[in-house]
Amino acid sequence: MFKLEEIPIEVLLDNLLPLLPISDLLSLTTTNRFFATLCNDDTFWKRKIRNDFNFSDEDSARTSGWKFIYRGLVHPRTYVWGESSKGRLGMKRPPPSTIPDVPYPAELHFDENVSVVHLSAAGMAFFALDSKGNIYAWGTLNGTGFALQHDGYSAPAKTAHTPLKLAMPAATRAISCGRLHATSLDERLHIWTFLSFGRPFRLVTSLLDASTPDSTPVQVESGWSFSSVLTMAGDVFVWWPFSGEMEEMIDSHNTAMDEAGSRIFAIADRVVSCSHWELHKDPQRLPELPRLPKLVSGAEDIDVHLVKIAALENHLVGLTNHGHTLKISVQHGDRAGQERWEYLPHFSESEKIKQHLTAASSELKSLQDIRITHISAQYQTFVAYSPGSSSVVLMGSNGTDADSEPRILPALQNRNVISVVLGDYHFGALTSTGKLLTWGQYSRGALGLGDPTTIKAGQPGGYPTEQLRQAAANRGVLPPPVMEPTEVRFDHGEKRSKKRFCFAATSAGWHTGALVIDLESDVDNDEDLVQMPGGFPSSPGPSTSADIPHTPGFWGLPHAPMFRVGFAGRGALRGGFQGRGRGQ
């Protein structure tokens, strides 16, 4: 007689289990050890969390715990803190404080049916994505100008004092913010640029029409004043909406709309009916990679190409599938097209990185090879890092070149760091255990460590002595920078201490945001997974086709195959069940 467990594991994980409601998955885990192991496979939950919640793992080096994150995304919490001007914290009345701004995490509330799964901070604003691909925004996208009371959200300087939903033609899969703009990628693989909340434009070009791997976008990244996109083949394209011919085209379109009397206002339920338009122009293609040294043993036949990009003020950092870190200038003007990628050996080669770790601290000796797998950047700082219990975090800057050595903070090494976020002068590192560590300048409270005038003297975020603390309370003297990465708490002002798990964070300017899971419930009980709100594919409750996120193929690509993640331990699941699941 045919048995269910005789079906190939690949078929079960890739075709059968994704179709089951959560309640059936949980029942299947109770049948025997084989299905208990199979239904807890990390990569299965990683894929399910992307499909059911529109949650992207691109900004995270997390390798396990995806089932736990899936459970927490049913009711995540959103926190923001730092400078409060220009409405950037999304609160008409920020929580009371003895000093200006908000120096600790304050919860930003959304409607009950909104599950925020991604945050991105701009210079004076925030953007958020929810589990259905909706975009929310608050603050001021371009606070360097001004807008009148009667101006609509077509004006870049118009402030949204609380979160607004921006109506877009398709679900959004990714969004990245620069200082005064944002760039997004939707499920149709269309690229959008926001210079105001109300008039996003779609970049239309045959170079990015998703007809081939060379023209299929997989990542959008905003620099200080430019936008960029990485394609499936590893090509990078850049455009400058604030200068040159593109600026003239944008100004001409906006003038025509202004003369027609078209102003965009928020309607019922705080929704902005965006006036979408198309800008037809080819972006600039960056040059090919230089010849690079071999980093991965036995990988001679594997093509070397970029798999991630990160943007600074006027540079891009790139990371290859072999772990090479490179940097290129992307300044607009006379030198356009003359720049070349520069290989950064001290941010790439295992032996060099080991030497730098040992030089930073004798306790940081690494016996294993180090491979950089993630990068992030903002303004004048970039970071290259690797995951796992032996994780390394290497910091560079706008001026880093081939001879530059990384800046290394010993307290960040071997900490299971899975994400690093960067403000202008403050920084944050997220660990796989849900801790957000911040360091750097006070930056109007962007560290989130609390009111420095009430922090005990000598503690991180406070003043070195009691005398200075009392004097600062009267004269407004800023506290010294925090040199040691320090954990941020998410229960400020609550009557009792509460355990919370941070799973995503963002920073820019002088503010920070984070997404947090409340651990007060019985997190070990899988039955809470069944209590899914209606609208998710695996919910046992009612839903409609309109509620279900549509993610065919690769990030919604209509004709490209789904990217497959290997599972070397699949066969080990049978007989003894000693194998380890994918992603572990």
Mean pLDDT of 109-129: 95
Mean pLDDT of 302-328: 96
Which of the listed ranges 66-80, 439-453, 493-507 does the model predict with the highest average pLDDT? 439-453
Helices and strands of the chain, counted as H and E runs: 8, 30
Checking if the pLDDT of 523 tops 60, the result is no
The tens digit of pLDDT for each residue in 359-384 reads 999 888 776 889 999 999 999 999 99
* Two tokens, residue 76: 């995540």
* 48-62, 91-105, 277-291, range with the lowest pLDDT: 48-62
Contact indicator for 203, 239 with CB cutoff of 8 Å: yes
pLDDT of residue 14: 79
Q: Per-residue confidence at 418, pLDDT binned at 50, 70, 90?
A: very high
Higher pLDDT, 452 or 544: 452
Q: Where are the domains of the chain?
A: 4-59, 75-109+426-502
Mean pLDDT of 11-16: 79
The reported pTM is: 0.85
* Two tokens, residue 205: 């070009």
Q: Per-residue confidence at 568, pLDDT binned at 50, 70, 90?
A: very low
pLDDT of residue 298: 65
* 2-16, 207-221, 485-499, range with the lowest pLDDT: 2-16
Of 380, 208, 185, 176, the closest CA to residue 281 belongs to 208
Checking if the pLDDT of 284 tops 60, the result is yes
Higher pLDDT, 231 or 544: 231
* 105-114, 175-184, 255-264, 535-544, range with the lowest pLDDT: 535-544
Checking if the pLDDT of 583 tops 60, the result is no
Checking if the pLDDT of 571 tops 50, the result is no
CA dihedral 326, 327, 332, 336 (to 10 degrees): -50
Q: Per-residue confidence at 563, pLDDT binned at 50, 70, 90?
A: very low
Checking if the pLDDT of 512 tops 50, the result is yes
Q: Per-residue confidence at 425, pLDDT binned at 50, 70, 90?
A: very high
Beta bridge partners of 175: 184
Q: How many CB atoms lie within 10 A of CB 83?
A: 20
Mean pLDDT of 110-135: 95
Contact indicator for 540, 33 with CB cutoff of 8 Å: no
The tens digit of pLDDT for each residue in 469-508 reads 888 766 767 899 999 999 999 998 787 778 899 999 999 9
Checking if the pLDDT of 520 tops 80, the result is no
* 35-49, 326-340, 523-537, range with the lowest pLDDT: 523-537
Mean pLDDT of 433-446: 96
pLDDT of residue 336: 60
Higher pLDDT, 346 or 534: 346
CA–CA distance, 545 with 527 (Å, rounded to integer)? 25
Checking if the pLDDT of 195 tops 90, the result is yes
Contact indicator for 196, 180 with CB cutoff of 8 Å: no
C-alpha distances in Å from residue 65, one per residue of 22, 46, 374, 490, 503: 17, 9, 18, 21, 11
Mean pLDDT of 224-237: 97
C-alpha distances in Å from residue 153, one per residue of 29, 139, 264, 268: 50, 11, 5, 15
Instruction: Show Cβ contacts of residue 32 under 8 Å, excluding neighbours closer than 6 positions.
Output: 5
What is the average pLDDT value for the chain, to the nearest integer? 85
CA–CA distance, 159 with 142 (Å, rounded to integer)? 9
Give the H/E segment covering residue 38.
helix 33-38
**Can you say how many angstroms the Cα of residue 60 is from the centroid of all Cα atoms in its chain?**
7
Mean pLDDT of 215-240: 97
pLDDT of residue 2: 60
Contact indicator for 314, 269 with CB cutoff of 8 Å: no
Mean pLDDT of 531-535: 40
Instruction: Show Cβ contacts of residue 297 under 8 Å, excluding neighbours closer than 6 positions.
Output: none
**Can you say how many angstroms the Cα of residue 50 is from the centroid of all Cα atoms in its chain?**
14
Which strands, in side-by-side order, build the sheet including 417-422? 417-422, 426-431, 436-440, 482-487
Which of the listed ranges 218-222, 258-262, 302-306 does the model predict with the highest average pLDDT? 218-222
Mean pLDDT of 256-277: 88
pLDDT of residue 541: 31
pLDDT of residue 248: 97
Q: In degrees rounded to 5, what are phi and psi of residue 308? A: -150, 150
The tens digit of pLDDT for each residue in 135-186 reads 999 999 999 998 887 889 999 999 999 999 999 999 999 999 999 999 999 9
pLDDT of residue 42: 83
Checking if the pLDDT of 46 tops 70, the result is yes
Angle at 350 between CA 347 and CA 356, to 5 degrees: 65
What percent of the chain clears pLDDT 90, i.e. is strictly above it? 60
Q: 3-state DSSP: the chain helix, strand, coil percent, rounded to 5?
A: 20, 25, 50
Token look-up 């009792």 returns 496
pLDDT of residue 279: 98
pLDDT of residue 556: 30
Checking if the pLDDT of 573 tops 90, the result is no
Checking if the pLDDT of 584 tops 50, the result is no
Give the H/E segment covering residue 311.
strand 306-311
Of 494, 490, 521, the closest CA to residue 503 belongs to 490
Buried b (16+ CB within 10 A) or exposed e, 299-338: eeeeebbbbbbbbbbebbbbbbbbbbbbbbebebeeeeee
pLDDT of residue 264: 85
Checking if the pLDDT of 581 tops 70, the result is no
Higher pLDDT, 59 or 267: 267
